[in-house]
Amino acid sequence: MASADQIVTEAQTATAPGRPEIRQVRGRRRRGNVAWGIIGWVVGILFFFPVLWMVLTAFKTEAQAYTNTPTVIFKPTLSQFSTVFSSGIWPYLANSAFATIVSTILVLVLATPCAFALSLRPVRKTRDVLFFFISTKMLPIVAAIIPIYIAARNLHMLDNIFTLVILYTAMNLPIAVWMMRSFFLEVPGELLEAAQMDGAPLRKTMIEVILPVVAPGLAATALICSIFAWNEFFFAVNLTATEAATVPVFLVGFISSEGLYFAQLCAAAVVATLPVVLAGWIAQRQLVRGLSFGAIK
């Protein structure tokens, strides 16, 4: 990228006044953009490469996956995927889906009124409550796992999917509260005032005025919570065994089994990651907001 003063001096020395100098500056810019484009694409592909390689390997035979010089051109096969699906991944997928969906619904049901009480109709000590929520995210879960494990054992809730549902709800609740609050704060004040002037009851205001405005926020929050719940591993590996195990626990099986099969493992990894990657791609505009607890719009 040419420095600004260089452009200015070059533009000044240009013989023809008026349009040609503008064209020259634009030309520089365009060349600059091409250079940035090349850098951008190179680093983008570099970062994406392990994912790309995972997907490619998933369509290979094991023989093609184990070569000294990586096989790039090959006839794709779906046999690894059929092995994965016939090796009993379905119950794990079902458990993951159940824990993700139910915990996300619970999170939204609990977080939405809570965020409302911390934004549009703020209670006293709103800041303290907000910091309490976020501070629960800082506490190392490993310190809580022992009592949780013992409680689950005594309540006969080990290897029970509802244990994971409860824990995932608690895990995502602070994020959802902060995120939903940031969406509530965007509801225009006039809208509320107008509704109140009309004498509409609070519930009606909620449903008819506020909800339509924050609906995209609800969707974004749900997506973020789903991503975290689907990918969660620590609770799943410690609190489940056979009945309630989720997809990440299924993947662990590949590493402890007698031999490693790259292609089959990659196929399983693709199946495990695909839902979240797709959700993340769709929600990428909202990703920042969720990751920053609503601090960044």
Partner 1 sequence: MTAIAPVATSPPHARTRADRRKQGWVRRAPLLPALIFTIIVTQLPFVFTLWYSLQSWSLVRPGSQHFVGLSNYADVFTDSQFRQTAINSVVMTVGVVLIAMVIGVALALVLDRKFPGRGVVRTLLITPFLIMPVAAALLWKTVMFDPTFGIVNFVLRPFGIGHFDWIGSFPLGSVMIEMIWQWTPFMMLLVLAGLQSQPKDILEAASTDGARPLQIFRELTLPHLRRYIELGVVLGAIYIVNEFDAVYMMTQGGPGISSANLPFYIYQRAFLGFQVGQAAAMGVVVVVATIIIATFALRLIFTSFSGTEQAA
Rule CB under 8 A: choose which of 59, 89, 133, 220 binds partner 1: 133
Q: 210 vs 23, 29, 79, 192, 196, CA distance in Å?
A: 50, 45, 50, 8, 12
Q: For residues 67 and 82, which CB has a smaller minimum distance to partner 1 in the complex?
A: 67
Residues 242-271 that bind partner 1 (CB under 8 A): 247-248, 251-252, 254-255, 260, 262, 265-266, 269
- Find the shortest distance in angstroms from Cβ 82 to partner 1: 19
Residue 210 lies near partner 1 (rule: CB under 8 A): no
88 near partner 1 (CB under 8 A): no
Q: What is the DSSP letter of 245?
A: -
The CA-based dihedral angle spanning residues 267, 51, 141, 96, taken in that order and rounded to the nearest 10 degrees = -40
Shortest Cβ 17–partner 1 spacing (Å)? 18
Contact 217, 179 (CB under 8 A): yes
Output 82 or 196, the one with its CB closest to partner 1: 196
Contact status, residue 133 vs residue 177, Cβ threshold 8 Å: yes
Please state the length of the chain: 297
Name which of residues 148 to 207 contact partner 1 (CB under 8 A).
148-151, 166-167, 169-170, 173-174, 177, 182, 185-189, 192-193
Minimum distance from residue 57 beta carbon to partner 1 (Å): 6
Q: How far is CA 91 from CA 98, 193, 217, 245, in A?
A: 10, 51, 31, 8
Q: Quote the DSSP letter at residue 156.
A: T
E strands within 131-225?
A: none
Among residue numbers 7 through 26, which ones bind partner 1 (CB under 8 A)? 8
From the list 34, 26, 82, 36, the residue with the least C-alpha distance to 58 is 82
Choose between 15 and 47: whose C-beta lies nearer to partner 1.
Answer: 47
Whole-number Å distance between alpha carbons of 74 and 64: 8
**Position 116 contacts partner 1 (CB under 8 A):** yes
The reply to whether 54 sits near partner 1 by the rule CB under 8 A is yes
Instruction: Please pick, from the candidates 80, 119, 205, 221, the single residue that binds partner 1 as defined by CB under 8 A.
Output: 119
Among 37, 76, 88, 216, binds partner 1 (CB under 8 A): 37
Q: Does 286 bind partner 1 (CB under 8 A)?
A: no
